Amino acid sequence: MLNLPDFDDHEAVTWVSDRKSGLRAVIAQHSTVLGPAAGGCRLWSYGSPEAGVVDALRLSRGMSYKNAMAGLPLGGGKAVIFGPVPADQREAVFEAFGAAVERLAGRYVTAEDVGVSVSDMQIVARQTRAVSGLPRASGSVGGDPSPYTARGVLRGIEVAMRQADGRTDLEGVRVAVQGLGSVGGALCGLLAERGAKLLVADPHPDRVAAVCEATGAKAVPLDAILFQDVDVLAPCALGGILTAEVIGALNATVIAGAANNQLADRAASAALAASDLIYVPDYVINAGGIIVVAAEYLGGQTEADVLDRVDAIGPRVADLLARAAREAVPVDALADQLAAGLIEAAR
């Protein structure tokens, strides 16, 4: 592990095996400097144990940066469970995972991520209190983070368009949304309310049909959505979609979407830096979800407090874009530098 390029002096990486349930998992705590290492649990069928470890290392560092930039008193962590998990073992697997989280004594706080649902987290919660993303109790904040993520992405798009051409509204702005899941679907609703013209794609025809009917969006083939002639490209599906080649072929002005780890590699960062594109770093614009998850876990906040914090993503993105332009530095590198600086200053 020490030789993996994604190892970044992570504080602890725990391998979890439970023979009885069949659970195999990795829990990576990148940093607890700002608070408990918080980040979701992903269930995925990795090609090899190493691929899962690499994902946990990369994603946990991303959570440290995301939480730091969002001003949350949380460090960064992430868990991966190695799939597939047979349906009749699922409950036992998440019970065992909850017990493993509990053994970390509050230094890692889990929640849902790809492949994991609220009901899985309810099973985890039988074993540990270091869990968030549970159903919202009446009168408290929390629940499904996706609408909050979508709202934060909207705020980022608004300020990026202001920077791009001085616009103060989104009337008639053309946006291509890749992925119409929990976040992409909600984002389309928010954009349509503001008069944006939407182009959308998703492998699920029912999701495409529902969004087109609700928002007047036009459906585009999956392999064409990234390359539309639009003001904004909003990736809300998978990570790693922006390769140098893709970046060279884009017809957008702004890239601003929810997907984690949009830039495939260093070559993609370099291609971005050499282009005229305005890129809003993914972990800055998509922090709405962790903001509400943190409020649920830490307590003491109202819904209005949470919405204020999510809306603050707008000015944060504006500052970041303005500073990157002023200093003529790549915005993704600047965000990494600022996030790492916040953690170091707290250390």
- Greatest alpha-carbon pair distance for the chain in Å reads 60
Q: Which is nearer to ligand NAI, 26 or 201 (CB)?
A: 201
201 lines the binding site for ligand NAI (CB under 6 A): yes
Contacts of residue 245, Cβ cutoff 8 Å, sequence gap at least 6 = none
Q: What is the distance between the alpha carbons of residues 217 and 225, in angstroms, rounded to a whole number? A: 13
Considering only 184, 230, 280, 294, the residue that binds ligand NAI (CB under 6 A) is 184
Beta strands in 266-321 (DSSP E): 278-279
Q: Compute the least distance from the CB of residue 293 to ligand NAI, in Å.
A: 8
Q: Compute the least distance from the CB of residue 292 to ligand NAI, in Å.
A: 8
Asked if residues 100 and 15 have their Cβ atoms less than 8 Å apart, the reply is no
Count Cα neighbours of 15 within 13 Å in the Cβ-side half-sphere: 8
Q: Look up residue 72 and give its DSSP letter.
A: -
286 lines the binding site for ligand NAI (CB under 6 A): yes
Q: How many residues bind ligand NAI (CB under 6 A)?
A: 25
Q: What is the distance between the alpha carbons of residues 65 and 260, in angstroms, rounded to a whole number? A: 12
123 lines the binding site for ligand NAI (CB under 6 A): no
Considering only 238, 322, 329, 346, the residue that binds ligand NAI (CB under 6 A) is 238
Q: Look up residue 225 and give its DSSP letter.
A: G
Considering only 69, 131, 176, 180, the residue that binds ligand NAI (CB under 6 A) is 180
Contacts of residue 317, Cβ cutoff 8 Å, sequence gap at least 6 = 155, 156, 159, 160, 280, 284, 285
Answer positive or negative: Cα dihedral of 215, 221, 226, 227.
negative
Q: What is the distance between the alpha carbons of residues 216 and 342, in angstroms, rounded to a whole number? A: 43
Considering only 52, 179, 281, 314, the residue that binds ligand NAI (CB under 6 A) is 179
Q: Compute the least distance from the CB of residue 294 to ligand NAI, in Å.
A: 12
Considering only 20, 126, 129, 204, the residue that binds ligand NAI (CB under 6 A) is 204
285 lines the binding site for ligand NAI (CB under 6 A): no
Asked if residues 285 and 279 have their Cβ atoms less than 8 Å apart, the reply is no
Q: What is the distance between the alpha carbons of residues 273 and 271, in angstroms, rounded to a whole number? A: 5
User: How many residues in the chain?
Assistant: 347
214 lines the binding site for ligand NAI (CB under 6 A): no
Catalytic residue ranges? 78
Q: Compute the least distance from the CB of residue 70 to ligand NAI, in Å.
A: 11
Considering only 31, 127, 146, 253, the residue that binds ligand NAI (CB under 6 A) is 146
222 lines the binding site for ligand NAI (CB under 6 A): yes
85 lines the binding site for ligand NAI (CB under 6 A): no
Of all residues in the shown chain, the one whose CB is closest to ligand NAI is 181
Q: Which is nearer to ligand NAI, 209 or 238 (CB)?
A: 238
Q: Look up residue 130 and give its DSSP letter.
A: -
Residues in the site for ligand NAI, rule: CB under 6 A? Answer: 145-146, 149, 178-184, 201-204, 207, 222, 236-239, 258-260, 286, 289
